[in-house]
Amino acid sequence: MTPHASPLRVAIVGSGPSGYYAVEALLQSGRDVEVDVYDRIPVPFGLVRYGVAPDHQKLKEVTRVFTRFALDPRVGFFGNVTVGRDVSVAELGRLYDAVVIASGAGVDRAMNVPGEDLAGSHAAVDFVGWYNGHPDYRDRCFDLSGEHAVIVGQGNVAIDVCRILAKTADELRKTDIAEHALTTLARSRLKTITIVGRRGPAQMKFTTKELRELGTLPGWDVTLDPADLALDGTSAAEMAAPQSATAAKNIEVLRGFAAKPRSNPREIRFCFFAAPHRLEGEGRVESFVVERTRLSGPAFQQRAEGTGTYRAIAADVVFRSIGYAGLPMPGLPFDGRAKIVPNVAGRVRDADGAVVPRLYVTGWIKRGPTGIIGTNRVDSIETVASLLADDLPRQEGAGGRERASALLRERGVRATSFAHWQAIDRVELERGQAKGKVRDKVIDRDEFLSIASGASGEAETPVAAGVGTT
């Protein structure tokens, strides 16, 4: 390793789990580092704040760990800064010795079927952002006055959406759910929620804990057609393989659901072997037409093949929860098919496959939207190992935090600091306490900035974490 006169200055774009796990890996490397985390939202923690369901507060506790990293004097935070608009990736590349993109995968995938744009048909991403008080989704409207909801996709996001739809306002009231969502959910008249999968029970993507939890929701039965539990030969072979431990447990949970007599007025139904075909309705969605499928292909690569048999499922509201996709960022290579930034072990590659010097990527934008929060730790450790192995020469006059701060100020960008977030955090906790909730989230960008201004003069002079504002 070459000795250097100045610290290794690293900009990380994105303050979700992969971003802060990259911070951790840099801090623990034993190298002399200075790290700044950028986020387009004025407050940190990305997916943990805006993706994790409000009734799963335990998962959000990881922010305490991220806060410890953020409060290290070597670490700064620039919130309310959109990289690619307020400052370009190339500019960050000149201000810092290395740039790590950890921007996640924040948009929905489309089903590409007729009727998908009817009123009442929504992306789960929008619903999740809305109930979590994400400023970009606060104005979305969800009409839950009908009796039948359909959720398309059988991953953990589908389960989150189902649980939030099924829980009563009283069960959600004490969480940090957005107030507007609580008001709408309290008026919900849903009686059935159908969770549709294009493949079979052996191919569900749920984690067992999440699946089991559906069976504990007061007032709801979980039902399915027991015939769907008879696995075909290839699926049975899949279940016998060691990597299918979760899938095998999931099937046991389904067997338990199927064996339980009905005792509740409302119903969560699992519908398997049903591919989206079209949405129908006069002006708004009324039914969701699916095509019966059969599986074909070798074990672990089985695909859903249409059989030409269709059926309509009553649907007053539809949520497509068929995975997330990354967005291209100006100035960054992008693989439009995989919706990720092309890379090898976190080193960004251009269209010709050549490594782009000093540019790295981690998290969902690196590998796609898979895994749980902790998966990002492993991912960021790999990316930071690549970065450190490159033993980057320091950039002449890079300037890092101080220069970046001056540039943003010059451009009139009202960046927020981690200390500003701490002030917002206190406000949210106090308001929450007054209402008997864990936290009452601020959901308005202007309010974020006004609390930040009140805490330390203007919210336009970014300061390193730990520089007090109280």
Supply the minimum distance, in Å, between the C-beta of residue 277 and ligand NAP: 10
Q: Where do we find the tokens 């539809």?
A: 318
Burial class of 446 by CB neighbour count within 10 A (0 to 12, 13 to 18, 19+): exposed
Distance separating alpha carbons of residues 406 and 461, to the nearest angstrom: 8
Q: DSSP per residue over 319-379, as a string?
A: EE-S-EE----TTS--BTTTTB--EETTEEE-TTS-EEEEEEE-THHHH-S-S-TTHHHHH
Supply the minimum distance, in Å, between the C-beta of residue 109 and ligand NAP: 6
For residue 388, give both structure tokens: 């450190």
Give whichever of 120 and 155 is closer to ligand NAP, judged by the CB atom: 155
For residue 247, give both structure tokens: 């899938």
Supply the minimum distance, in Å, between the C-beta of residue 149 and ligand NAP: 16
Supply the minimum distance, in Å, between the C-beta of residue 462 and ligand NAP: 31
Give whichever of 354 and 372 is closer to ligand NAP, judged by the CB atom: 372
| Residue whose CB is nearest to ligand NAP in the complex, by number | 155
Supply the minimum distance, in Å, between the C-beta of residue 91 and ligand NAP: 32
Between β-strands 121-123 and 317-320, what pairing exists: parallel, antiparallel or unpaired? parallel
DSSP state of 287: E
Distance separating alpha carbons of residues 201 and 256, to the nearest angstrom: 13
Residues that bind ligand NAP (CB under 6 A): 111, 152-158, 160, 197-199, 203, 205, 207, 210, 276, 321-324, 369-372
* Dihedral, 138, 139, 140, 141 alpha carbons, nearest 10: 120
Supply the minimum distance, in Å, between the C-beta of residue 400 and ligand NAP: 33
Supply the minimum distance, in Å, between the C-beta of residue 377 and ligand NAP: 14
Give whichever of 372 and 389 is closer to ligand NAP, judged by the CB atom: 372
For residue 41, give both structure tokens: 């939202």
Contact 292, 272 (CB under 8 A): no
Supply the minimum distance, in Å, between the C-beta of residue 444 and ligand NAP: 26
Give whichever of 9 and 198 is closer to ligand NAP, judged by the CB atom: 198
Give whichever of 211 and 359 is closer to ligand NAP, judged by the CB atom: 211
Burial class of 98 by CB neighbour count within 10 A (0 to 12, 13 to 18, 19+): buried
Give whichever of 158 and 190 is closer to ligand NAP, judged by the CB atom: 158
Q: How many CB atoms lie within 10 A of CB 330?
A: 11
Give whichever of 208 and 461 is closer to ligand NAP, judged by the CB atom: 208
Give whichever of 283 and 308 is closer to ligand NAP, judged by the CB atom: 308
Q: How many CB atoms lie within 10 A of CB 126?
A: 18
